[in-house]
Amino acid sequence: MFNFLEKRSNKEEKEEIIQEPVSSPDYNIQFGVKYKPDSKPPVIGDNYIIRSNFIIYDDVVIEDYFRTGHNILIRENTVIGDDVLIGTNTVIEGDCVIGNNVSIQSNVHIPTNTIIEDNVFIGPCACFTNDKYPVRVDYKLVGPKLRRGCSIGENTTFLSNVEIGEGLMVAAGAIIVRDVPPYFLAISAPAKIKPLSNHLKVPNML
């Protein structure tokens, strides 16, 4: 475990921290929560910024330019690409894949077995689920698949195992109950699918 309020790291600093961890309970950062005897410590690339109350389990791999807000949980067997931002109070439940150049805002819940591809934006308070029949049926947990370049508005909800198409926009407050094709707009609850204006069919500017 090592603890700090805010740490900016290059390669040399990262190696020093891993070899000589420091303890500072005031900042409550837990690096490498062991969940089984043979788990391996997490790996974080160069040039990261990690803020207080950050907990990361073993068997997590994170690439370069990783940034967080406060109060973040990342569980085991998660892979995160380059240049990813994770906002305050966000939970990533484990066994997830997150691509490059992804921006996840505050208070987002990402359940087990979720896939988020490159250049995705997720607004505050988005909630993704992975259980079709909670505590009633023995159901294989499968989270949503967010394809490249989609943009998710705030306070949205996604049912399990839905696919969000490339370049799609999801309006604030929408509830997604089925797959949505690429480059459309999902709006309302439950979501209705409407054409996306041509001027919005452009890459996310993250």
**pLDDT tens digits, 135-161:** 899 989 999 999 999 999 999 999 999
pLDDT for 21: 32
As a whole number of angstroms, the distance between CA 95 and CA 97 comes to: 7
Strand order across the beta sheet in which 97-98 lies: 43-44, 61-62, 79-80, 97-98, 115-116, 145-146, 163-164
Give the pTM: 0.88
Of 17-26, 64-73, 96-105, 188-197, where does mean pLDDT reach its minimum?
Answer: 17-26
CB 77 within 8 A of CB 94: yes
Give pLDDT tens digits for 51-76.
Answer: 989 999 999 999 999 999 999 999 99
CB 201 within 8 A of CB 181: no
Q: Which fold has domain 53-200?
A: UDP N-Acetylglucosamine Acyltransferase; domain 1 (2.160.10)
Q: Using the structure block, give the residue that is written with the tokens 């409407």.
A: 194
CB 199 within 8 A of CB 183: no
Long-range CB pairs of 10-15 (<8 Å, 24+ gap) are 10/46, 10/47, 11/46, 14/44, 14/45, 14/46, 14/48
